[in-house]
Amino acid sequence: MEPFYHTLKRIYVDMAHAETKKNQKTIGTYCVMAPPELIYASGAVPVKLCSGNYTAFSIGDDIAPRDACPLVKAVAGFKQTGLMPVYEDCSMMIVPITCDCKKKIAGMLSERCEVTTLHIPATREDKDIEAFMNQLYDLMEKLENVTGNTITYQSLSDGFRKVGYAQYELSEFIRLKKQMPYLIRGSHAMAILNSASYMPADEWGKALHKVNLSLEKRIAENKTVTSKKLPRIMLTGSPIVFPNIKIPLLIEEMGGIVAGDETCMGERGMWDPAVITDNSFDGMISALANRALRPCPCPTFADNSQRIYRLKQLIKENKIQGVIYHVLRGCLVYDFEYRRIEEELGKLGIPVIRLESDYNEEDIEQLRIRIEAFIELIKLKQAPEKVMTVRKDF
């Protein structure tokens, strides 16, 4: 776990710069739909800038309108203060326009830094993929200008290799994480996934490889983090971005385990690797465009039935007993999908609760009682243990 904690601590506590080689540029991204392969191909390092910082949020609260989501407020806050090196270092920021808040924040950020927006279509048809490919070609040109490097067939395939390696290790990690009884706590797993935002993919992959080896060792030695049958909870909904990880921590504090997640800073982020079906340069760009749009269960798309499919798949794979649906206040697209998902999962007998939250510590008690009751609800389906003692006095 060390390298991951180290990274999160460096960025958020020591307020250090992202680790780069000499003269290497960093490119900020705000969504999983900005392809990291292309950034590596230009010789730069991508840094995911979606933020869960409470201080930045309270500053951004005065800048962004009241109903904007806390994630965007936190970004606005960082932009205003200019204190976070990871933000200040960026030579360019890529903002996929997944919602109205992102659109406006892109405009705000452009006052300080070069910003490229990526238009995200409402559907995922062939013509949308083609249009997205054209955007990627434009983005490529901009990246070349910013970094002064040319993106070649070779450098792009290297980019694919780097990201692919991290994705491979991640799939191994997810396979090991599923083992029951558990080898690793879900909140720790989320810390690992979140730290991917600030580490180069190959290094993150290497560090994850070590984690995977140690998990394999735990299997061999029969070491698990808990022997109890903890209620297995899945998280979905609005992004859970470090350091706003109060919900996964509360779930595990109240005696559950985060056994899976369907959020964009979690397993979704790197899950589906880009698949190259055509070995040309155009084929690789097409693979990136396809990868960004087609498998993405983001509620920005008009029809998002595949999110339900993906949730059902995760529920089956991870033997999920309950789903916590996280809604960041003001995050409308996720809130919209709650009803349908509650209905669909209800048919499977999986209870779902909606937890609305913000970037502050004030609602922890309200969240705690809901999470506690939710976990009890799952626990009570199992038979209680009997206790026999004689009481002397009160």
Residues in contact with another protein by CB under 8 A are 339, 342-343, 346, 351-353, 356, 363, 366, 369-370, 372-374, 376-377, 380-381, 384-388, 390-394
User: What is the phi/psi pair of residue 259, to 5°?
Assistant: -95, 0
Q: What's the min distance (Å) between Cβ of 321 and another protein?
A: 13
Q: For residues 37 and 61, which CB has a smaller minimum distance to another protein in the complex?
A: 61
Least Å distance between CB 364 and another protein?
A: 12
Given its phi and psi angles, is residue 66 left (phi above 0), alpha (psi -120 to 50 degrees) or beta?
alpha
Q: Of the two residues 184 and 345, which places its CB atom closer to another protein in the complex? A: 345
The SS3 assignment for 94 reads: strand
Nearer to another protein, 229 or 340 (CB): 340
Shortest distance, position 312 Cβ to another protein, whole Å:
17
Contact 32, 133 (CB under 8 A): no
Alpha helices in 94-200 (DSSP H): 100-109, 126-147, 153-177, 186-195
Our CB check for another protein shows the closer of 319 and 381 to be 381
What gap in Å lies between CA 343 and CA 326, rounded to an integer? 16
- Tell me the C-alpha distance between 3 and 265, whole Å: 18
CB of 343 to another protein, least distance (A): 6
Q: Which is nearer to another protein, 37 or 252 (CB)?
A: 252
For the CB of residue 277, give the shortest distance to another protein in the complex, in Å. 42
Closer to another protein by CB, 193 or 371: give it: 371
295: left (phi over 0), alpha (psi -120 to 50) or beta: alpha
| Site of tokens 């693979």 | 287
Q: How many residues does the chain have?
A: 394
Residues whose CB falls within 8 Å of the CB of residue 208, separated by 6 or more in sequence, listed in order: 166, 169, 170, 172, 173, 192
Residue 86 beta carbon to another protein: minimum distance, rounded to whole angstroms? 32
- Strands 26-29, 45-48: parallel, antiparallel or unpaired by DSSP? parallel
- Whole-number minimum distance, CB 158 to another protein, in Å? 49
CB of 61 to another protein, least distance (A): 16
What is the spatial distance between Cα 172 and Cα 166, in angstroms, rounded to a whole number?
10
- Nearer to another protein by C-beta: 21 or 347? 347
Q: Considering the complex, what minimum distance in angstroms separates the CB of residue 348 from another protein?
A: 13
What DSSP string runs through 346-392?
Answer: HHTT--EEEEEE-SSSTTHHHHHHHHHHHHHHHHTTSPPPP------
340 within 8 A of 306, measured Cβ to Cβ: no
**For another protein, which is the closer residue by CB, 115 or 352?**
352
Q: Which residue's CB is nearer to another protein, number 144 or number 376?
A: 376
Q: Could you say which DSSP state residue 113 is in? A: S
